[in-house]
Chain A
Amino acid sequence: MSILVGKDTRLITQGITGEYGRMHTLACREYGTNVVAGCTPGRSGVDVEGIPVYDTVSEAREKTGANATMIFVPAAFAADAVEEAAEAGIQLIVCITEGIPALDEARMTRSVTAAGARMIGPNCPGVISPGENCKVGIMPGFIHTPGKIGVVSRSGTLTYEAVWQLSELGLGQSTCVGIGGDPVIGTTHIDTLAMFQEDDGTEAILMMGEIGGTAEEEASQFVKDHVTKPVVGFVAGRTAPPGKRMGHAGAIIAGGKGTAAEKMEAMRAAGIAVAESPADLGSTMAEALAAKA
C-alpha cells in the first residue's frame, strides 16, 4: 500500500517536449510508472519515445484516461498549466516547476481546491511509492526501497539523504512526498500526515521541515491530536541567520518567527522523536521503531 501514487496512476507530463520534461518522463517510465501521454501546446501528433503528445490536457485525458500530471512548464506559464489540469479533471497535479510568482501560486492553489483536485508542490521533487514501482517526480529511483516508512519533506536532496539512510538500515519506504519549498504549496505536512495515518502500508513517518513559516508547528499539533504511528522529525536551518532567504522562497526567518529551535521544540512537545543531526535521520527512525516494538 502507499499514498497518492501507485499501480492505478495514469500519468501525463505537461511540458514533455522540453529537455527536463522529456528526461524525467522517461526516467519515470523506466522506474515502472504508467506514463500514458504528454502535453505541449502546438505539438500534438509528435511522440516522445512512443508517448503520444496532445495540445491540451482535456484531450490527453479523454484519449488516455489520465488521472495524474507532472508539470515541467516554465515558471511564467506554470500557473496556467496547473489550472488547465485542474479544469480538465486531473485529480493529482505534481508541479515540479521552481520560481513561480507567489500570487500565481495563491491563485492556482485556489483553482485546484475548487476543482476538487490535489496539488503537490510547486518547487518540489515529486512523489514516489517504491513498492508499487511508481515514481512521479525527479528523485533518483535507485536509492528507494519498498517498505513501511512514510517520508514527507519540504526539500529535495535532503529527502534523498534521508531515504538513503533509511534504505541503508533496511527501512524501506511506503511513499515519499516532497511537498515543496515555497511559501504557498498545494499539499501541506498536515495533509500528508493524515494520509499516512490512514494508510495501512505505512508504519511510521519521517517528517522533515525547515526554517520559515509555522507549518511544522501546526503539523506537530496535528501529530499530537491525530497521529498514532511513530513520527520522527528533523528541521534544517538551525544555523541560518534571520532575515535571509536560504535558497527556498519559503525558507526565511521573518520578524523573529520561523526558527528551527521553535519548530524542534514544538515537535518534541508533540512527542515526535527529533533527530538532532542530519546524519541521524535513519538511526532515529530505527530507534523509534524499536521503542514501539
Chain B
Amino acid sequence: MKLHEYQAKGRFRAFGLPTPRGIVATSLEEVRAAYDELEGDLAVVKAQIHAGGRGKAGGVKLVRSADEAVEAAESILGKPLITKQNGPDGTVVRTLLVEEGLPIDKEYYVAITLDRQLELPVLMASAEGGTEIEEVAEENPDAILTEVVDPVTGLAAFRARRITYALGVPKPLARKFAATLQALCKVFLEDDASMVEVNPLVTTTDERVICLDGKVVLDDSALFRHKDLVELRDVHEEDPTEVRAKEAGLSYVNLDGNIGCLVNGAGLAMATMDIIKLHGGEPANFLDVGGSASTEQVTTAFKIILDDPAVKGILVNIFGGIMRCDIVAQGVVDATKALGLECPLVVRLHGTNMEEGRKILAESGLSITAATDMRDAASKIVEAVS
C-alpha cells in the first residue's frame, strides 16, 4: 500500500525525523491560508498523487506570494496530472501540500528496501539527490552506496557513520545525518514498509538535515498489525475493479487484450496469459482465484472479467489440487446461467475430480467448449474471438 508524500512525512515526524513545515490543502482558500500561515518568502505547492515524476510533470511549483500559490494550485488541483509513471490518463489531483521553502545546500538520495538476494533490508544512498535512482544506477552505479540493515535492531551506528562519511556529508552535519539514516530505518522496520525513499534528503545552509520529499510503501501482508496505517489508504488511487477483486479474495490485474482469463494459482495464471499470446491472442487480465475458491468466488470472478467491455471471450484454466474440478465446474455453470453469458467460453479442467467436473459441464446444456490441455485451450479461445 502506497502512502502520499504528506502521509509519509507524517510517519517521519512520528519517528522524530525533520521535515519541512507544511500544510495540507484541498481548496484554493486553504492554499492561500496555508501560504500565509507559513509566513515565508518562498513556498512550494506539491500535488499529492502516488505516481512518481510529479516535478517533471508540472505537479510541484515554487511560489513567492499568496497569489502565486493560489495560481499554482489552480493549475493543478482537480485536474489530471500525467507523469511518466501513471499512464496516458494520469491521476486527478485531490490534495495539495503547501510547504515552506528551504535554503538548500546539498541534496542526497536515500532509500531502504528489501534486498531479495541478501534476504535483508538494505539502505541505499547516493550524493546525487534529486535524480531518479534508476538513472543513477544505469549511468553511474558506483555512486550508489549500500549498507545492510539488521531486521531486528535496525541500522548499526557504525554503518550509519560509514555511509555518511562516504557520501561526503560536511563534518558538522555528519552526526545529525547519520542519526537521520538510523531513524529512517526505524520507520521501515516498525511500520513494516517494503520501501522508504527520501529523494532528496537535504542539508541546508543553516546546517539542518531535512527530509524534503518522502515516499513510503507498506507491506500489504503486514497491514493486519497496523490498523492505524490502513486508514491512510486512498482508494481513488486504485483500480476499482482490482479493489473489488481483492475484497472477494481474488487477485486481478487488468490488461489490454480481449480474452478474459480465470485460473487457479499465480504461476499458472501468468503461464495462461503467455500461451494466449503465443497463439496470437491478447489476454484481457490476470486473475488468480486462489487455491480453494468457492462457487460464489467463481461467479464473482466471472462478473469482474465481464466488467471489462473489451472482453470477447473467456478461458478458464484450472489444475485442481486443493481445488476440486467438480466445484469449479458447478461454479462455471452457475455463473454462466446467472450472468446470461453470451461470449465464447473455453474451459480446461485437470486434476482432482476432473471427470466429475467435465461431466457437469457436458450435461449443463450450455455452449461451453471443453479443452483437453493448455495448447488446445489457447488455440480454441483465440480462434473463437478472432
The answer to whether the Cβ of B352 comes within 8 Å of any Cβ in the partner chain is: yes
The answer to whether the Cβ of A239 comes within 8 Å of any Cβ in the partner chain is: yes
The distance from the CB of B141 to the nearest CB of chain A, in whole angstroms, is: 13
CB pair A240–B267 under 8 Å, yes or no, is no
Contact of A138 among B253, B255, B273, B322 (CB under 8 A): B322
A236 to B283, CA, bound (A): 14
Stretch of A47-55, A87-95, A159-167 contacting B (4+ beta carbons < 8 Å): A159-167
CB pair B134–A256 under 8 Å, yes or no, is yes
A157 to B352, CA, bound (A): 12
A172 to B220, CA, bound (A): 39
CB pair A156–B114 under 8 Å, yes or no, is no
Contact of A160 among B194, B270, B288, B321 (CB under 8 A): B321
Q: A183-B114, A218-B117, A236-B271 are in contact. Are A102 and B221 (CB under 8 A)?
A: yes
The distance from the CB of A190 to the nearest CB of chain B, in whole angstroms, is: 11
CB pair B278–A156 under 8 Å, yes or no, is no
The distance from the CB of A153 to the nearest CB of chain B, in whole angstroms, is: 7
CB pair A208–B275 under 8 Å, yes or no, is no
Q: Which residue of A lies closest to B288 (CB)?
A: A247
CB pair A154–B275 under 8 Å, yes or no, is no
A109 to B120, CA, bound (A): 10
How many B residues touch the partner, as a band? 35 or more
CB pair A101–B222 under 8 Å, yes or no, is yes
B-chain residues with CB within 8 Å of residue A260 when the two chains form the complex? 274
Q: Which residue of B lies closest to A27 (CB)?
A: B322
CB pair A106–B351 under 8 Å, yes or no, is no
Q: Which residue of A lies closest to B119 (CB)?
A: A184
Contact of B267 among A154, A185, A238 (CB under 8 A): A154
The distance from the CB of A257 to the nearest CB of chain B, in whole angstroms, is: 9
The answer to whether the Cβ of A250 comes within 8 Å of any Cβ in the partner chain is: yes
Q: Please classify the interface of chain B as helix (H, G, I), strand (E, B), loop, or mixed, using the class held by over half of its residues.
A: mixed
The 8 A CB mask of A218-256 against B (1 = contact, 0 = none) is 100000000000000010111111011111111100011
The answer to whether the Cβ of A18 comes within 8 Å of any Cβ in the partner chain is: no
The answer to whether the Cβ of A132 comes within 8 Å of any Cβ in the partner chain is: no
A-chain residues with CB within 8 Å of residue B117 when the two chains form the complex? 213-215, 218
Contact of B225 among A76, A143, A218, A255 (CB under 8 A): A76
The distance from the CB of B276 to the nearest CB of chain A, in whole angstroms, is: 8
CB pair A279–B277 under 8 Å, yes or no, is no
CB pair B251–A103 under 8 Å, yes or no, is no
A155-B266, A237-B273, A279-B275 given; name 6 further pairs at CB < 8 Å.
A76-B225, A99-B221, A103-B114, A157-B268, A161-B271, A236-B271
Query: Would you mind naming 20 contact pairs between A and B with Cβ atoms under 8 Å apart?
Result: A76-B224, A100-B221, A103-B189, A103-B192, A103-B219, A106-B114, A106-B121, A138-B291, A155-B267, A156-B265, A158-B319, A160-B321, A164-B319, A184-B119, A215-B116, A246-B251, A247-B286, A277-B374, A279-B275, A279-B374
Top 3 closest pairs, chain A to chain B, by CB:
A155-B267, A247-B266, A157-B265
